[in-house]
Structure 1
C-alpha cells in the first residue's frame, strides 16, 4: 500500500490529484499540504497539514514532523512578475521542502516525486514555439533568454533524486481546465464570466471573440485537471515513467473557430454576423482593443529555426522575428467598463454570485491566451508509447468545469441566463 503527500493541495491541479487519490485503493493515507485549511475532507484517508513553502527548511520540518509518503505530488508554485525572482523563489521552495523531509528522516521513504510544470517549458509565454512541441525540444537558456523557474525546479529535483535515491517524473500540462474552491486563477472562471456578462452587457447578447483573428483560427491543446490527475497517478507507479518528462494534454487538438460558437450557444449568446469586421486588427464596437505588442525577441521557435548540425535545424532563419499579442476587446479594461460592471452586479444580486470571482478573475491571463497570434500544439507520442491511453474531449472539459462553477455560485445557472435580455434593450 502506498502513501502520498500533495503540496499545493488546494490549487486546481493539486485538488484534482487529491480527489483521485481518495478513489485509488492503492493509497491508504494522503497528506495534503497548503498554507490554507481545506474547507472539508472528502475522505478519512486525508490528513491535512498547514505549511508555508516560503519558510526555512527547519520551520517546514516542524510542520512535517508527522508527515510521510512514498509518493510526493508537488503542485505548488509562487507567481512572481520578475522571471529571475520566480526562478529563485520556486527553486528554493522545492529545495527547502526536500531538506525539511531530510531533517524529519522521511525523505528516505520517498520512492517517486511527480512535479507539475507546464508549457512555459517551451517558452509559449515568450512567443511561437516549434509545432508540435516534444519533450526533447531544446530548453531556452543562455543568451538573452529570461530565467525559467521550471528549469530551476527540475535541477533541484534531479540533483536531490541522485543524492537520495528516489525517482522523479515531470508533467507539462497546457491551459488547465478545472476548478478549486476559493481559487479563481483559472481560464474557465474568466471565460465563463465573460460569456455570462456578455449576455446582458453586449448589444443583442453578441459574443465577440476578445482575442485576435489569428488566435481564433489557430490550433491549441488543453489539459483537463481531471485527466492530468489520472496521468499523475499513472506516472507515480509506472516503472518506465521514472526519471522522465511528459507532455500531458487531453489528446485532441482544438480551435476557437470550433469552440467559440459552442460557447455562445451554451451561454445563450449570439455569434456576431462578422466576428472580425476590420480583419486581424479589428476592434469590437464599444470596447477598447489592446496591442499589437511584441513578445520576446526572438520567438522560441528560433532555437529550432537553424542549426549547425545537419538534420536538426528547420532551415528557416526568417522565423526569428518576435511573435505578437493582440485583443480586439481588452478583457482587463472590459471588466472595468460601466456597462459590464452593471451587468455583472445584476447577475450577482439575482443569483447570489461570489463577488470575489469577478474581482480576482485572471483577465490578464485571458488577454494572453486569446490574444497570442500563434498555435500551441503538443505531442503526446512519448506518453502513448509508454502505455498511457487517457483521453478527454476538450469541450467536455469546458462543460464539466462550467457546471462546477455554477454549483459554486461563481457563474449563473445557464438555464436561467438564457432567459435574460440585454440591459440596453
Structure 2
C-alpha cells in the first residue's frame, strides 16, 4: 500500500491534497510536513514539523527521525514563501525545493519515490505581467530573463525538479501542476481570493449610505473578460491522478475547473447571495483608466513596468501588444479596506457574528487589485491532460459558494441567511 509526503500541509492546496489522500483507500500512510501542526485527526497521518528554509542536512535529520529511510512513493510539494522582490522570491523558493529533495537523497527516502508532484501556477505564463496569448498552453515559450523579463520563480523550481529526477537515472518522475486563482480554504490561511471577495460583499451589504449596493471594484474590461479558476479539491484530485496516471510523468499540466467564467455572470450571483443590489449603471464613469471612481470611493490606476507577454508572440499572431499593462479599479480595494466607515461596518459584523479579526487584517486586498483591475482575459486549455484520460470537472460558481459556506462555518464570513434577515435590503 503506497504512502505519500505532503509539504505545505497547512496551505490551501496542501490541506486539500491531504484530505483527499485520507479518503483514498489505496494510501496507507500520509506524512504531513509544515512549520506548524495542522492538527489532522486521521490515523493515516503522521505529522512532522519541518522548516524548509533550513539546510538539506538539517532537514535530513528531521526527516530521518520522522519518516526514516523508507520514504514514500509519492511526494506532493505545495510549500511557498512570498517575497516582494522577484529575484529573492526565486532564490528562496528554489532553495527550499532543492534542499528538500537533497534531504530525501541524504536519508535514502528517494529510493522508494515514484513521482514527485510540484504545485506551481499560471505565473509560469507571466499572467501577472500583462496580456498573454490565449488560451495558455503548456508548450508556450518561457519568458526568459535574457529577453528582458523579470525572474519567474517557477522556472527555477521546474529546472531543479527535472535535474534531480535526472540524477536518479530514471528512478522517479516529476509532474508540475499549474492551477489558476485557487478556490478553497485552510484554517488560519486567508491568502485566497474567496476570503477577500466574501468580506467585500458582506461589508457592502451593511455599509451605511450605500443602499446595500455591490459595485464591481474593477474596470469594465475586466467585468466582461473571460477567466478560469481552480477548485482546491479538484486540484487535489488531479494531483492524485497525476501521481499514477500512465504517461503523466515528466510533464507540466494546466489544472482548471474546466469551465470558462466571467464576472458579468459571477457578480450578479454574488450580489444575490449576499442580499445586495447591482448598481445601475455599474460603471457610471465608463470604467476606464483616469475616468474617476464609483460614488465617493477612490479609484486607482497602476501602469506596470513590464511589456505584455503577448510581445513574445506578436510576429506569430500578427498583432502587436500596445502600451504598458495597466490595472484600473473604480474602487481601490486596499484603500477601501482602510476607510473609517468600512472598518466600522466590519466591526459591526465582527461583533454581531463573532467573526475572526485576523481574516480582515490578512485579507489579500492587493490580490483583488490585480485580479479585478486587469483588462485582459486569463484562460488556459486542459487538452493535454484530457488526452491522457483526465475527466475531472468542477463548476466555478458551485466551488466559490462552497468555499463561502466553509468560511461561514469557520467564522470568517457572517452566516449569509442570518445576514440577510438581520439587514434586509
Q: Deviations over 1:46-90 (max 9, x none)?
A: 000000000011111111013221100000011110000111111
Does the aligned pair in 1 maintain the 2:13–2:78 contact within 8 Å?
yes
Give the C-alpha shift of residue 322 in structure 1: 2.2
Instruction: Give the Cα separation in 2 of the matches to 1:305 and 1:121.
Output: 19
Q: Tell me, yes or no, if structure 1 residue 258 matches structure 2 residue 268.
A: no
Unaligned runs of at least 5 residues, structure 2: none
One of 298, 313, 320 as aligned partner of 1:304: 313
Aligned residue number for residue 71 of structure 1: 74
One of 137, 155, 161 as aligned partner of 2:159: 155
Q: Tell me, yes or no, if structure 1 residue 56 matches structure 2 residue 55.
A: yes
Secondary structure of the residue aligned to 1:280 is coil
Give the C-alpha shift of residue 166 in structure 1: 1.0
TM-score (ref. length: structure 2): 0.96
Secondary structure of the residue aligned to 2:54 is coil
Number of matched pairs: 414
Which range moves more in the overlay, 102-111 or 6-15?
A: 102-111
One of 126, 130, 135 as aligned partner of 2:133: 130
Aligned residue number for residue 121 of structure 1: 124
Q: Tell me, yes or no, if structure 1 residue 37 matches structure 2 residue 37.
A: yes
One of 198, 210, 226 as aligned partner of 2:233: 226
Alignment of 1:231-242 (within 5 A): 231-242=238-249
Instruction: Give the Cα separation in 2 of the matches to 1:37 and 1:421.
Output: 39
Instruction: Give the Cα separation in 1 of the matches to 2:213 and 2:60.
Output: 55
Give the C-alpha shift of residue 321 in structure 1: 3.1
Q: Tell me, yes or no, if structure 1 residue 109 matches structure 2 residue 112.
A: yes
4+ residue runs over 3 A deviation? none
Instruction: Give the Cα separation in 2 of the matches to 1:146 and 1:83.
Output: 7
Does the aligned pair in 2 maintain the 1:31–1:46 contact within 8 Å?
yes
Secondary structure of the residue aligned to 1:170 is strand
Instruction: Give the Cα separation in 2 of the matches to 1:175 and 1:55.
Output: 29
Q: Tell me, yes or no, if structure 1 residue 184 matches structure 2 residue 154.
A: no
Does the aligned pair in 2 maintain the 1:205–1:421 contact within 8 Å?
no
Instruction: Give the Cα separation in 2 of the matches to 1:158 and 1:296.
Output: 31
Does the aligned pair in 2 maintain the 1:7–1:33 contact within 8 Å?
yes
Unaligned runs of at least 5 residues, structure 1: 307-312
How much is the aligned-residue C-alpha RMSD, in angstroms?
1.1
TM-score (ref. length: structure 1): 0.96
Does the aligned pair in 1 maintain the 2:149–2:306 contact within 8 Å?
no
Does the aligned pair in 2 maintain the 1:121–1:151 contact within 8 Å?
yes
Aligned residue number for residue 293 of structure 2: 283
